[in-house]
Structure 1
Amino acid sequence: MFKEGRFTDFVIRATAAGVPAPEALRRLLRAVLDHQRGRPDDDATILLFEWHPRSAAGGGTF
């Protein structure tokens, strides 16, 4: 399985490298498929959530 630690490490590294969320998702899907030799053993669900907090000046989007 592509366990929680591997998933967390992947997300942290992608975020630190400044990888945009859609590209990080694409890479994550590829990493999961590679880990499972291209054939998922079970159902898989991945949710992409991108958050843009409001700045101190009150701007920003959700």
Structure 2
Amino acid sequence: MARALYRNNGILILDEATSSLDKESEEIIINAILKEKEKGRIVLIISHGERAGSIADKRYKL
């Protein structure tokens, strides 16, 4: 996650970025993702968690 944020590419791809985290840590990650969205970055999140999905503009369920 830190490397992806540091690189500052136009797109951020996160695969299970919040899995195995406690609620407090998950909120820290979610807030970081929201800040990146506000900066105009495209964020693609692959997640089983409902919280990560709740911040999506679009959701696709497989």
Calculate the TM-score normalised by the size of structure 1. Answer: 0.33
**Structure with a larger share of its residues in strand:** 2
Calculate the TM-score normalised by the size of structure 2. Answer: 0.33
Q: Which of these two proteins has the greater Rg computed from alpha carbons?
A: 1
Question: Which protein has greater RCO, CA pairs closer than 8 Å, 6+ apart?
Answer: 2
